[in-house]
Structure 1
């Protein structure tokens, strides 16, 4: 035991001093690039929740499909959208064009909201059109849902990634609540078209905010282990 203590005291080298300062919580909260990501996850999940407040009834009216049979639409649409989202993400990462993929996905989301608003305003709803829009929605949603947490971890200072992801997850939860509550109130008092109109406004604001991003960092390569 005495020898071990001596080794620890006199042989084991001391840890090098930590030079980088830890970023404060307020610095992370006020970081412009992270604020864009936080608004994005709030908008994404708010739009999703508000849309699914009214979408089941829209599908019933358009296709006469009972609600307990909607899984026959959702399941294949989600599976196909998962396959369609992979190439844009892989190519964006490989070629360093994730910002373009990111902004394109928000633009696609906006087109879906506009299309949904136009479709439900028609006297005769096209069931096929709604399914196509639903597929486009999930493609955009899956790309954004998969890429945003990774981008937050890259944009955040190394010493504050936990705080950055905590804020991000909190904004996601707030978005879920706001979308469900806001969508329900709009649908109750103004009808389903108002829900998609609000979605268009939020998505357009997100598109403008995301387009002004300064940079979109690439995934860091693993450093080779020292010989």
Structure 2
């Protein structure tokens, strides 16, 4: 039986790359709760340009993440990641030294141009076996969630002590530290690079993924979620001030809200996954977000504001956790990487347009209009997903092939896997020597699956 325990090199790779991914996201998110407040000291600042500065990184991320991922296949993962970190560092320095809103926008766009998310995920796949890859990717996902929560707290603390420039200098330091981690902690990448269709985008599958209405609904969902997130941070910091909460205490407020939101999210994730109520929880979360955003437009007391922000971030954290899970369930065998590539691009476009929308509404109609506009987006989102079919609870499995498996043996192998109870979809990729499976774990005959794998290895040894 193949061990699912992490090897020392796998552990080093996962810890290093999860930290690298999280620190990069931390640098991008720290400015969200503070930029609108501190922009008054920047020449030429308007609400629209502040919104553009908040979301500008999303445009360059969306445009460059797929090209960077494909480039990493050609010239090496670490080289591309290093270049991306240098761009992120440069963007942080440009923003830190800026005395105008235009300089901050340029810096944020440069930060986003270091679009190495796909290359990092591909390197994680290069460094891990199929048996532990799901756990490795889950670790990356968890690190992103933690980074967002920490950013909401750390950004206000740094800004209150060192100003907006201090936030960007800290981001530059994170990028420099990331380069050290990449080259000193993360093991050397293997010479043979596989496609890892469960992780990275395959251009040949792109058209098929864009033609799937179920996946497009989820792409629109992450687009709308990050649009709303970016838009409200044009107005939320001012709403906290209006409620009598001083700037230096904003970090404490976000700390309490994010901690409680995480606690509130956990039982809902359990209901969605374990009780198989994914669609119901999904709809309730979007509807709750729409209501919270609408009421945020006219509340004035600090306790009402805190309660509504808690409701919003509980729904936000829940959706951030469950949307990738739904993509994984719906994507065909061997196509999860492509589906996630489209999903991530949608997320970054949402962040960019959210900044533009929030800034436009605040500039022309006031901060209240930001919340009303975002509530309308959430209602449109709710209508778009209302008729979606309930996602089947399928999981992905990857089985390694022997080097000598080819020809008729592949066809026979595919048939044998397809006959196993609980296996719903099979894709054999001979050039990468792997089989991608979609399985229903409640019905899966694990013993039969193990026997097929054991028979292949026994046959090779005979």
TM-score, normalised via structure 2 length: 0.42
How many angstroms apart in 2 are the aligned matches of 1:223 and 1:52?
49
- Given the alignment of the two structures, is residue 197 of structure 1 paired with residue 378 of structure 2, yes or no? no
Aligned partner of residue 335 in structure 2, secondary structure: helix
- Given the alignment of the two structures, is residue 33 of structure 1 paired with residue 33 of structure 2, yes or no? no
Pick the aligned partner of 2:382 from 207, 210, 217: 207
Deviation at 1:62, TM superposition (A): 1.2
Deviation at 1:219, TM superposition (A): 4.4
Bigger RCO of structures 1 and 2 (CA < 8 A, at least 6 apart): 1
Structure-2 residue corresponding to 1:132 = 307
Aligned residues: 200
Deviation at 1:115, TM superposition (A): 1.0
Structure-2 residue corresponding to 1:68 = 248
**Which blocks of at least 5 consecutive residues in structure 1 are unaligned?**
1-21, 120-124
TM-score, normalised via structure 1 length: 0.84
Structure 1 contact 23–159 (Cα < 8 Å) conserved: no
Structure 2 contact 243–302 (Cα < 8 Å) conserved: yes
- Given the alignment of the two structures, is residue 100 of structure 1 paired with residue 280 of structure 2, yes or no? yes
Pick the aligned partner of 1:142 from 317, 321, 331: 317
Deviation at 1:88, TM superposition (A): 1.2
Alpha-carbon spacing, 1:199–1:91, altered in 2? closer, same or farther (3 Å):
same
Structure-2 residue corresponding to 1:114 = 294
Deviation at 1:23, TM superposition (A): 7.1
Structure-1 residue corresponding to 2:235 = 54
Deviation at 1:210, TM superposition (A): 1.4
Deviation at 1:24, TM superposition (A): 3.0
Structure-1 residue corresponding to 2:328 = 153
How many angstroms apart in 2 are the aligned matches of 1:95 and 1:61?
42
What are the superposed Cα offsets for residues 62-96 of structure 1, whole Å, 9 maximum, x if unpaired? 12x22232011001110111011111111221221
Structure-2 residue corresponding to 1:169 = 344
Structure 2 contact 265–315 (Cα < 8 Å) conserved: yes
Structure-2 residue corresponding to 1:187 = 362
Deviation at 1:198, TM superposition (A): 1.2
Aligned partner of residue 70 in structure 1, secondary structure: helix
**Which blocks of at least 5 consecutive residues in structure 2 are unaligned?**
1-202, 396-440, 455-462
Deviation at 1:134, TM superposition (A): 0.5
Aligned partner of residue 232 in structure 2, secondary structure: helix
Q: Give 1 or 2: higher helix fraction.
A: 1
Structure 1 contact 23–160 (Cα < 8 Å) conserved: no
Structure-1 residue corresponding to 2:143 = none
What are the superposed Cα offsets for residues 189-216 of structure 1, whole Å, 9 maximum, x if unpaired? 1111211121111100111111111122
How many angstroms apart in 1 are the aligned matches of 2:334 and 2:206?
11
Alpha-carbon spacing, 1:72–1:155, altered in 2? closer, same or farther (3 Å):
same
Deviation at 1:25, TM superposition (A): 1.2
How many angstroms apart in 1 are the aligned matches of 2:284 and 2:394?
19
How many angstroms apart in 1 are the aligned matches of 2:353 and 2:281?
26
Structure 1 contact 48–179 (Cα < 8 Å) conserved: yes
What is the RMSD computed on CA atoms of the aligned residues?
1.6
- Given the alignment of the two structures, is residue 91 of structure 1 paired with residue 271 of structure 2, yes or no? yes
How many angstroms apart in 2 are the aligned matches of 1:111 and 1:175?
20
Structure 1 contact 93–219 (Cα < 8 Å) conserved: no
- Aligned residue runs from structure 1 range 213-224, under 5 A: 213-220=388-395, 221=441, 224=446
Q: Give 1 or 2: higher strand fraction.
A: 2
Structure-1 residue corresponding to 2:109 = none
Structure 1 contact 62–127 (Cα < 8 Å) conserved: yes
